[in-house]
Structure 1
C-alpha cells in the first residue's frame, strides 16, 4: 500500500550486460521492500545496504526482512550494511555502494525519489502509487519523458499481474469463443465491475499488526483509489486492452465519483497504531472525538467507451475474521468472466465463467475446455468444474505463486528490460499515464462532488 521502488544504475551494468547487481534500500517503511530479500536474487550480490532515518519504520522493515529470511531456503544469504541518520539520502548518494536502489516509503514522497533516481542516471522500477494527487500528474509526465530523453527505463511495478487468476481472466476475456464481443454497457449496467475491500486492523498469531500513525494522513498516504486502487485500475486496463496503448486525453472519461470516511474512535486508533492520542496532522479530520478517515472511493468512468465501475474500501475490522477481498467481473456477449477472492473462495483468487444464456452453455463450456488445453504448456493441469451456473476453472496448487515471490519475479523481469534494451513494451508508458489519470483525477472528482 505504500511505495516500493527499484532503481538500477546503467553505468555499472558493464559491457557484458549481466554484471553482479548490488542492492541498496532507501528509507524503507513497508514490508513490500523487504520482499526483495525473501530469497536469493540471481545476479545480485549477497551484500545489501540500507539508508534510512532512525525510527520505527526502519525497525519494522528490518524485522520484516528478518522474518522473511528465516522462512527462506537460504536464511543466511543476505549480508546487510545499515546506515541510520537524518542525512540518509545525501549519504547514500555520496557513497553509492551499489548499482540497484530499492525505495520504500510514504506514498507522497514516491515521485521525489523517482525524480532523484532519474537525475542520477538510474533506471527506475517503482511500486504503486507513483503519485497520489492530480496536481502531480504533470510531474509524472515529466518524469517519464525525462526517462525517455535519457534512454532510461522507468517502470511501474504491478505485482498482481503475476497472480495466475488474473492472468487466466485476461486470457478468457480476450477469447471471443468464450467471452463473446466486449460490451460497452451503460452507466446503469457497466460491463466491468471491480471491488477491492480491506481492513485496517489485522492480527498475526494473536498480535495486532501495527500501522504507523502517518498511514491515516491522506495527504501522505492518499485516498483508497489513489493508493490500492492503482492495482484495480491497472488490472482493468491490462485485461481489456491487451498490448494496446491508451491515450488518457482521448480514451478516458470520468463520470461520477464518491468518497466517504471510515470513522475511528480514539480507542480504535490506539489499538491499530499504538499511539495514545490522535496526532496533530489528523486533527482537522477529528470530529466529536472521532477520526474521519477518508479511505473509501467509488468511480464510474469509460475507457474507449466501455463503462467501468470501481469501488475501493477500508473497514476497521472484520467481525467474522475475513481477509482482504477482491471481485473483478467482465461481461461479454456470451458470458461473464470473474475473479473472486471472497469468503466463499477462502479469499484465494479463483476464476469462473458464467454463460449469459442457457442455450450457449454447451458451446461456451466446450470453448473453455479447448482454451485450457491450449494453455496447458504454460499452465498444466487446468480443468473445468461445474458449480451451478458457473463454470469454475480449477487451478492446481502447483501453479499458485505465493505473494511474497511477486517482487522477486518483478526484479527478474525488470533486470531483463535493462539487459535487453527495447524489450520493455511500448504500451506501458501511455497506459501508466492513463492509469494514474484515472486514480488521481478520480479522487479529485470525488472531492469536488462532496463539496457541492
Structure 2
C-alpha cells in the first residue's frame, strides 16, 4: 500500500514538473515571438480607437520595419471616419504618398475583438483617455507591445494599473512607450545640450517657488489646422473625465521635458518628487465656439454637468510648482480657443544657470517660431566662450550660428532644415520606438522616469482638486 502511494505521489510530482516545463517552454516561445530583428514589415501595427488626430500622424510616413497592413479596431462613428479620411489623404498625397492598407473592424466590442484577434504585435492607442490605462494593461496581458499617445493615465486611482502594466511588460519581454514628440523640437534639444556645457551654463540653480530653476509653459488652441485641414474635435475631448485635465494631459510633455533636461539619462524615483502647489482653471466656450470645432449644434448629455448658463467650462488649464531632486520646477498648460493670426501652439521655457539663462520664446517678436536665447550674467561667459560652444554644437548640427541681439542677450541661429514641425516629430518618435523594439529594450532610465512623470501629473491633479 505504502509503495503504491509513493508511486502515486511520484507520478503527481512528475506531472506537475512536466506542466511547469511546458509553461516555461510556452513562455519561452512567447518571448521568442516578441524578438524583433529590424527586418522589413515585421512590426504589425494595431490601431485602437483612433479618436485623436495623433493616431493618424504616426502614419504620415512609411517605415521599412512596419508592415503596410494596419488593423484598426474602433466603434463606428465620426472619430473613426476622420481617422480613415486622414490616412486616405496621406496615401493620396502628391508629396511622399504613403501606402497603408487598413483592415477595419467597427463595433462596440472593438477592444474585446482586438484582444481575441491579436492581429498584430504592437498596439497604438490615441483617443479617449478614460479607459486608456485599462487598454494598456490588458494589451500587455495579451502579449502585445504598446506604443501609446500621451497621457497613459489621467488620475491617481488608475496609476497603480499603469505600474502593474510596466511590471508585467518587463516579465513578458514587451515594450511600453509613450509618444514624447517635444523631445524632438530643435530649440529644446539645443537648450538641453547647452545646459550640459559648464563653461556656458555653469550649474543649474536650485531656484525658488517664485523663481524656479526651470519653467515650461505650453499654450494650445482648441481651433487649429492639422495636415492643412481644420481640426474637428470629438465632443468627448471637452469632457475632462474622458480626455483628462490640463495637468494630466499636455502637462505630461512639460514634466517629461523637465526630467529629460535637468537630469538627462538619470534614473528618477517617486521619492525625488515634492509637490509644492497646483491649481486648475477653466477655458470658457460659447455654443458657437463649441459648434465650430465639433460641428455639433448641442452639448452632449455628458457635458451638461460643466455648462453654466450656455457656457461650457472646460478644466483644460493647470499650473504645477514642485521640486525634483531639490530643483524647483514649474509647468503651466494654457488652452485658448483660437490662436492669433499666423500663430500656432506655443512653448516658453527658461533654465536658470549660475553663468547664464537658456530661454525659449515663441511670441510675436519671434514670428511665433521657437527661438533659443542665451542670457549671460555679469558679462560671463564671454562672446568667445559662447561662439566656441556653438561651434562645437555645429559638429552635430551643422549650420548653427550666434547673434548678439541685446545687452548680454544672444540668439542661437538655427537653419530651417532642423525646424521640421510638430507633425513630423511623430515620425521621429516612431522611428525611435522601432529601434527600441529591434534592441529589445528601452534605455534603463526610460521606464522608471515614465512612471515618475505620471506619478507627478496625477498627484498634481489630486492636489489641485483639494484647493477651494
TM-score by length of 1: 0.91
Q: Quote how far apart the aligned CAs of 1:57 are.
A: 0.2
Q: How many residues align?
A: 437
How far apart, in 1, do the equivalents of 2:149 and 2:37 lie?
Answer: 28
Q: Which moved more, 1:62-71 or 1:253-262?
A: 62-71
How far apart, in 2, do the equivalents of 1:119 and 1:169 lie?
Answer: 39
Q: Does 1:370 align with 2:391?
A: no
Pairing partner for 1:429 from 440, 447, 450? 447
SS of the residue 1:137 aligns to: helix
Deviations 1:292-349 (A, max 9, x none): 2111111111111111122111112235453211101011111110122222223322
Structure 2: gaps (5+ residues): 1-29
Q: Which moved more, 1:125-134 or 1:14-23?
A: 14-23
The corresponding residue for 1:173 is: 195
1:397-436 matched pairs, under 5 angstroms: 397-422=416-441, 424-436=442-454
Q: Is the 8 A contact 1:12 1:99 kept in 2?
A: no
The corresponding residue for 2:70 is: 48
Q: Quote how far apart the aligned CAs of 1:120 are.
A: 1.2
How far apart, in 2, do the equivalents of 1:371 and 1:269 lie?
Answer: 49
Q: Does 1:291 align with 2:312?
A: yes
Q: Is the 8 A contact 2:40 2:64 kept in 1?
A: no
Q: Does 1:58 align with 2:80?
A: yes
Q: CA RMSD in A?
A: 2.2
1:161-240 matched pairs, under 5 angstroms: 161-202=183-224, 208-240=230-262
Q: Quote how far apart the aligned CAs of 1:69 are.
A: 3.0
The corresponding residue for 2:3 is: none
Q: Which moved more, 1:66-75 or 1:412-421?
A: 66-75
How far apart, in 1, do the equivalents of 2:227 and 2:259 lie?
Answer: 37
Q: Quote how far apart the aligned CAs of 1:165 are.
A: 1.4
1:245-256 matched pairs, under 5 angstroms: 245-248=267-270, 250-256=271-277
Q: Is the 8 A contact 2:122 2:147 kept in 1?
A: no
Q: Does 1:157 align with 2:194?
A: no
Q: Quote how far apart the aligned CAs of 1:289 are.
A: 2.3
Q: Does 1:141 align with 2:159?
A: no
CA pair 96-291 structure 1, distance change in 2 beyond 3 A: same
SS of the residue 1:296 aligns to: strand
How far apart, in 2, do the equivalents of 1:38 and 1:434 lie?
Answer: 31
Deviations 1:114-135 (A, max 9, x none): 1122101122222210001111
Q: Is the 8 A contact 1:262 1:292 kept in 2?
A: yes
1:109-128 matched pairs, under 5 angstroms: 109-128=131-150
Q: Quote how far apart the aligned CAs of 1:243 are.
A: 0.9
CA pair 166-82 structure 1, distance change in 2 beyond 3 A: same
How far apart, in 2, do the equivalents of 1:205 and 1:233 lie?
Answer: 27
The corresponding residue for 1:360 is: 380
The corresponding residue for 1:260 is: 281
Structure 1: gaps (5+ residues): 1-8
Q: Which moved more, 1:152-161 or 1:204-213?
A: 204-213
Q: Is the 8 A contact 1:336 1:354 kept in 2?
A: yes
The corresponding residue for 1:392 is: 411
Q: Is the 8 A contact 2:35 2:440 kept in 1?
A: no
The corresponding residue for 2:110 is: 88
Q: Is the 8 A contact 2:125 2:149 kept in 1?
A: no
How far apart, in 1, do the equivalents of 2:329 and 2:275 lie?
Answer: 10
1:71-82 matched pairs, under 5 angstroms: 71=93, 73-75=95-97, 77-82=99-104
The corresponding residue for 1:281 is: 302
The corresponding residue for 1:6 is: none
CA pair 209-343 structure 1, distance change in 2 beyond 3 A: same
The corresponding residue for 1:438 is: 456
SS of the residue 1:190 aligns to: coil
Larger radius of gyration: 2
TM-score by length of 2: 0.88
